[in-house]
Structure 1
């Protein structure tokens, strides 16, 4: 865990056209405080959040799961971390740290070149992250410039990150990555390519994977516009004035990466295999979907609370809408549990959750979350849009507003806070970013569903079909 002042380490962070000191941005300070709950929970709830190995304590994310009970403990830890930020921080340290745990054991496939042993590099890096419990973020998505052309056919050089020079000490890289969540407040950045956009043979220089500190002189972090509302309190914007996950566009300008931090270089096959074959994809997916449950439960609870406070929950039609939401939540919870119960030991002795179950969640949860937001919008409607600013309760109209907006179900201030939360989550820029994040952070939903169908185990169903379709002699 670090303080926000420690992030004034020379990193080049830009906001609204100017280079900034991260510590001077209020919403960054608040986001870091919530992110640090990952570390706080290791002290306050160590029975769940830590484990011992060789006489030392480590965060449970770093534990290599060997049994279903190991996955269940990690599930509980992920859930408690997510609950500390209402499921709104998708890239807390436990996300990539659980990937580091398995990378250390599955890295052999990466091989070596004349300068470096990439497998050893990956193992050593994973062990270093674990020993120091640092916060690493990652950037894998290439800028969406022209997806109809090969990455090497886009002349600007910013269609991805590519090697421009190498020597006996390391490589120099230039280029860009489109979305990097939490980069301004992370310690290290892990760069690799997404598995769903496979590189082609001509893309060799883009076939890289490496780690670098954020204060690397060749790295620039260009933040998107912030989503908070200065001048208003959290009573008006209870989420967007509490945190911002801070997506950024990353530029590499002849940045030096020592060989010890390189995991793939000029190898299209290894680049395409890196995320999947390292085991990081499936184990980070487990963490990600547990966090998704937390966020879905918040959205479901909000819809139900709004219906109650506005006196709508006695109508059968509203109850049916809310019942769909609670059923959706139960289905997602059950599928996550199934992913754990139907896991298996891989060839490395790592207990691995069911990918089919996790992909079912990943392909479905975004639409369930969207549905919960839409129900809240439908129920709150004009009441939400017409809610006065919270400062009005200290103004000239305070007395009449408190009288006019108080009901037998909520005081005027309670009602206002709830409707402000409903607007923040369902309709404000913060809420819309969160919705888009759920749809796309895990990859193209259409591609996910296509892959799910292709890997479905329908042995029993096909057996029944064959039996019914077989010719029978009456």
Structure 2
């Protein structure tokens, strides 16, 4: 855990055209406090959030699961962390930390070159993160400049991160990565290429994976516009004034990376294999989908609460809509459970959840989340649009509003706060970013479904077809 002041460590963070100190941005401070629940829960609920190894105590995210019980404990920890922020922070430390545990076990495939052993580098880096319980952000998505061209065919030099120079001490890199979530408040940055955007021959300078502190000279964190609303309280904007996950555009300008922090270099095949074969993809997916359940349950509960407070839940048509939402939630919960029950021990003795089940969640959960948002928005409708600023309750119109907006089902302020929450999550910029995040943060939905179709085991179904059609 670190304080916000410790992040004023020389890192180059830019916001609205100005280089800023992280500690001076109020929403950064609030977001870090929520992110630090990951560390707080280790103290307040250690039986779930920690484990013992070699007489040391570590966060459960770093435990290599050997049994289904290990995976279930990690599930519970992921869920409690997500509940502390209502599932709105997609990249809390447990996301990549669980990937680090697996990387340390599976890294030998990365091989070596004449300067360094990449497999050992990755193993030692993962162990160092574990020993210090650091918070890592990751940068994998390349900027969408011209997807019709190979990455090396885009002349700007910012179509990805590439190696400019290599010496016996390390590499010098330049370029960019987009949508690096939580980067301004992380300790370290893990940089690699996404598996769905395979590099091609000629892209070798872009075939790189490495880690670096955020305050490395030559690294710039350029934040998108913030989504909070200065001048208003959290009663007006219950979510967006409480946190912002802070996506950023990362620029590398002749940044030096020592060899011991390099895991792939000048190797297209290894760059394409890195995320999947390291085991990080499947185990971070498990954490991500558990967080997704939490977020879906929050949105579902919000739709149901809204219908109740507005006196709509007595109508059969509304009950049917709400039943669809609760059925969706149960389907997702059941599929996550299936991913754990249908897991297997890999060749390293790591208990690994079912990828097919997790991909089914990833391809479906965004639609279920959107359905819950649309239901809440439909129920609230003009009621949420007409809520006055909360400061009005303390002004001369306060008594009028208390009388006019109070019902048998809710006091005026409680009703207004709920409607503000619906607006924040379903209509305002914060909510739209959350929806877009769910659809795209795990990769292109079309590619996910395509992968799922190709890998589905339909042997039983095909056997029935063959039996029927051959008689």
* TM-score of the two chains, using structure 1 as the length reference: 0.99
CA distance in 2: counterparts of 1:105 and 1:380, whole angstroms: 50
CA distance in 2: counterparts of 1:222 and 1:345, whole angstroms: 41
User: What's the CA shift for 1:98?
Assistant: 0.1
CA distance in 1: counterparts of 2:249 and 2:358, whole angstroms: 28
CA distance in 2: counterparts of 1:269 and 1:456, whole angstroms: 25
Q: Which residue of 2 aligns with 1:150?
A: 150
User: What's the CA shift for 1:116?
Assistant: 0.4
Q: After the TM superposition, which residues 425-444 of structure 1 pair with which residues of structure 2 at under 5 Å, given as runs? A: 425-444=425-444
Q: Which residue of 2 aligns with 1:34?
A: 34
Q: Is residue 163 from structure 1 mapped to residue 163 from structure 2 by the alignment?
A: yes
Q: Which residue of 1 aligns with 2:45?
A: 45
User: What's the CA shift for 1:400?
Assistant: 1.0
2:210 alignment partner, SS class: strand
User: What's the CA shift for 1:470?
Assistant: 1.3
Q: Which residue of 1 aligns with 2:364?
A: 364
CA distance in 2: counterparts of 1:300 and 1:366, whole angstroms: 13
Q: Which residue of 2 aligns with 1:404?
A: 404
Q: Which residue of 1 aligns with 2:330?
A: 330
Q: Deviations 1:111-133 (Å, cap 9, x if unpaired)? A: 00000000000000000000000
CA distance in 2: counterparts of 1:171 and 1:179, whole angstroms: 24
Q: Is residue 204 from structure 1 mapped to residue 204 from structure 2 by the alignment?
A: yes
1:388 alignment partner, SS class: coil
CA distance in 2: counterparts of 1:126 and 1:399, whole angstroms: 59
Q: After the TM superposition, which residues 253-292 of structure 1 pair with which residues of structure 2 at under 5 Å, given as runs? A: 253-292=253-292
For the aligned residue pairs, the C-alpha RMSD in angstroms reads: 0.4
Q: Is residue 393 from structure 1 mapped to residue 407 from structure 2 by the alignment?
A: no
Q: Is residue 87 from structure 1 mapped to residue 87 from structure 2 by the alignment?
A: yes
Q: Is residue 449 from structure 1 mapped to residue 449 from structure 2 by the alignment?
A: yes
CA distance in 1: counterparts of 2:235 and 2:385, whole angstroms: 15
Q: Which residue of 1 aligns with 2:316?
A: 316
Q: Deviations 1:8-64 (Å, cap 9, x if unpaired)? A: 100000000000000000000000000000000000000000000000000000000
Q: After the TM superposition, which residues 158-197 of structure 1 pair with which residues of structure 2 at under 5 Å, given as runs? A: 158-197=158-197
1:107 alignment partner, SS class: helix
CA distance in 1: counterparts of 2:25 and 2:53, whole angstroms: 38
CA distance in 2: counterparts of 1:398 and 1:31, whole angstroms: 32
CA distance in 2: counterparts of 1:400 and 1:179, whole angstroms: 46
CA distance in 2: counterparts of 1:115 and 1:90, whole angstroms: 36
Q: Deviations 1:247-299 (Å, cap 9, x if unpaired)? A: 00000000000000000000000000000000000000000000000000000
Q: Which residue of 2 aligns with 1:129?
A: 129
Q: Which residue of 2 aligns with 1:102?
A: 102
CA distance in 1: counterparts of 2:374 and 2:181, whole angstroms: 26
Q: Which runs of 5+ in 1 are unaligned?
A: none
User: What's the CA shift for 1:229?
Assistant: 0.2
Following TM superposition, where does structure 1 have runs of at least 4 consecutive aligned residues deviating by more than 2 angstroms?
A: none
2:375 alignment partner, SS class: helix
Q: Deviations 1:71-115 (Å, cap 9, x if unpaired)? A: 000000000000001100000000000000000010011000000
Q: After the TM superposition, which residues 3-42 of structure 1 pair with which residues of structure 2 at under 5 Å, given as runs? A: 3-42=3-42
User: What's the CA shift for 1:398?
Assistant: 0.7
CA distance in 2: counterparts of 1:178 and 1:101, whole angstroms: 26
1:195 alignment partner, SS class: coil
2:359 alignment partner, SS class: helix
1:165 alignment partner, SS class: strand
Q: Deviations 1:417-445 (Å, cap 9, x if unpaired)? A: 00000000000000000000000000001
CA distance in 2: counterparts of 1:103 and 1:182, whole angstroms: 21
1:200 alignment partner, SS class: coil
Q: Which residue of 2 aligns with 1:417?
A: 417
CA distance in 1: counterparts of 2:218 and 2:390, whole angstroms: 45
Q: Which residue of 2 aligns with 1:304?
A: 304
User: What's the CA shift for 1:462?
Assistant: 0.8
User: What's the CA shift for 1:467?
Assistant: 1.1
2:290 alignment partner, SS class: helix
2:179 alignment partner, SS class: strand
Q: Is residue 234 from structure 1 mapped to residue 234 from structure 2 by the alignment?
A: yes
CA distance in 1: counterparts of 2:18 and 2:300, whole angstroms: 40
1:422 alignment partner, SS class: helix
Aligned residues: 471
Q: Deviations 1:352-396 (Å, cap 9, x if unpaired)? A: 000000000000000000000001111110001111111111111
Q: Which residue of 2 aligns with 1:351?
A: 351
CA distance in 1: counterparts of 2:461 and 2:349, whole angstroms: 31
Q: Which residue of 2 aligns with 1:61?
A: 61
User: What's the CA shift for 1:179?
Assistant: 1.1
Q: Deviations 1:311-348 (Å, cap 9, x if unpaired)? A: 00000110000000000000000000000000000000
